[in-house]
Structure 1
């Protein structure tokens, strides 16, 4: 019944909660944490965390839900990633600014697309998996870029989108990861019902908080056990099969 958190922002927890998560991992049967980065500073923090504890598997990148970085910032980040490529498990989190665009519809996404394309080219060059923030209308654009760069090791975290995009992603063998909101969000439950278990992983996206039975709690990787049970219920599969498949999918995808 081991699990792996395939998407967590460990560097964004305070030091006390970081220590609590690491202390609890064995008891909670959490084997590893894929910790994603926001920018260069975040990447360095996650790298430093991984040096202290080998259960932490860092990914480096630029999160799209923030102001555009300067050319110098992008160049510095890619240069640092190149230097630390042997320590990185994936390029991420990268993608397009869907939620930022809801707040400011005048945002020009062309520069975000150009930046994402550079990170995908890096991933292709060094044969790294990619952890993607791409939902709704942005997902087909990202699929275009993945196909252009001939990338198949793509992980869409907390994905939402239409059935045509889902079918395209399945055909291309792209993975998705499911957050604890599968326990109460109909949209995510419907996604789980149609997406193949063999292309699925678990995540928390912590420290992002959740509602439902988790309301008022700080986000902990142990919550993924509730997610696994919910997935088993939706898929009408034995819980042992679901646990083993989700666990092995993540180990194989990230070469853990």
Structure 2
């Protein structure tokens, strides 16, 4: 195994015991760092504290779209927090559009979520940081349009799922996507990897989200990424060492991680 970075994990959602288990075994598992995304202000505060304690934790601050919209005063506090700590974060995230929430609640107004996403895109541009997006299937083109509207290209679509037309659009715009451990057992995800350039690929766990296949009933741990890497190397028909080197460098470059 070679060094790799988990490009998307909700570290603050693990128990303290699980966090310690993950963080104290990173080196032995060849995990060079964690991009820890946030769901809201309290989540961002927790991730910032973890980053202060562990040098290989790289926090991102945002508002996860699969929840009720924040009140105006909550957004003001979150934006102020982000601006106050912009030098301590690597990105704006996780932000995006509520695909799954709309499946459960048909009366959700998408327009308000689009306005919120646009606000975060403008904020990312203002603080000159990448943006981490939750935008899948028919929501992905909507996110692409907002990014294009404001000429933002430093975009990471995590756990992307969507059609070939959208994939081509994302390739043309230079966006990055990342794959979770479900690439080891889902043909849909394997097909996306086959059709996206390795130079724009990262790997993630999205932990503590749990997976099936070879990871059934296991706590999601960044060390699962190594199985993803073997599958990606096979799909892209490259040497495993080359795949590790490329994806590790992709993640470091995108998030401006030194060392």
Q: TM-score, normalised by structure 1?
A: 0.99
Match of 1:247 in 2: 248
1:116-153 superposed Cα distances (whole Å, 9 cap, x missing partner):
11111010011100000000010000000101111110
- Give me the whole-angstrom Cα distance separating, in 2, the residues matched to 1:68 and 1:252: 32
1:222 is aligned to: 223
Aligned to 1:52: 53
* Count of residues paired in the alignment: 256
Which runs of structure 2 are paired with 1:23-102 in the superposition (5 Å)? 23-102=24-103
Instruction: Summarize deviations over 1:93-129 as a string: whole Å, max 9, x none.
Output: 0000000001112210111111111111010011100
> 2 CA distance for matches of 1:199 and 1:20?
30
Q: Which runs of 5+ in 1 are unaligned?
A: none
Following superposition of structure 1 onto structure 2, how do residues 147-226 of structure 1 map, counting pairs within 5 Å? 147-226=148-227
SS in 1 for 2:132: strand
Question: How far, CA to CA, are the matches of 1:254 and 1:67 in structure 2?
Answer: 28
Following the alignment from structure 1 to structure 2, what is the Cα–Cα distance between the partners of residues 250 and 216? Answer: 28
Query: Residue 22 of structure 1 aligns with which residue?
Result: 23
Give deviations 1:21-74, integer Å, cap 9, x for gaps.
Answer: 011100000000000000000000000100001100000000000011111111
SS in structure 2 opposite 1:131?
strand
Aligned to 2:24, the other structure's residue is in SS state: helix
TM-score, normalization: structure 2?
0.98
Aligned-residue CA RMSD (Å): 0.5
- CA deviations 1:74-105 (Å, max 9, x no partner) are 11100111111110100000000000001112
Point out 4+ residue stretches in structure 1 off by more than 2 angstroms: none
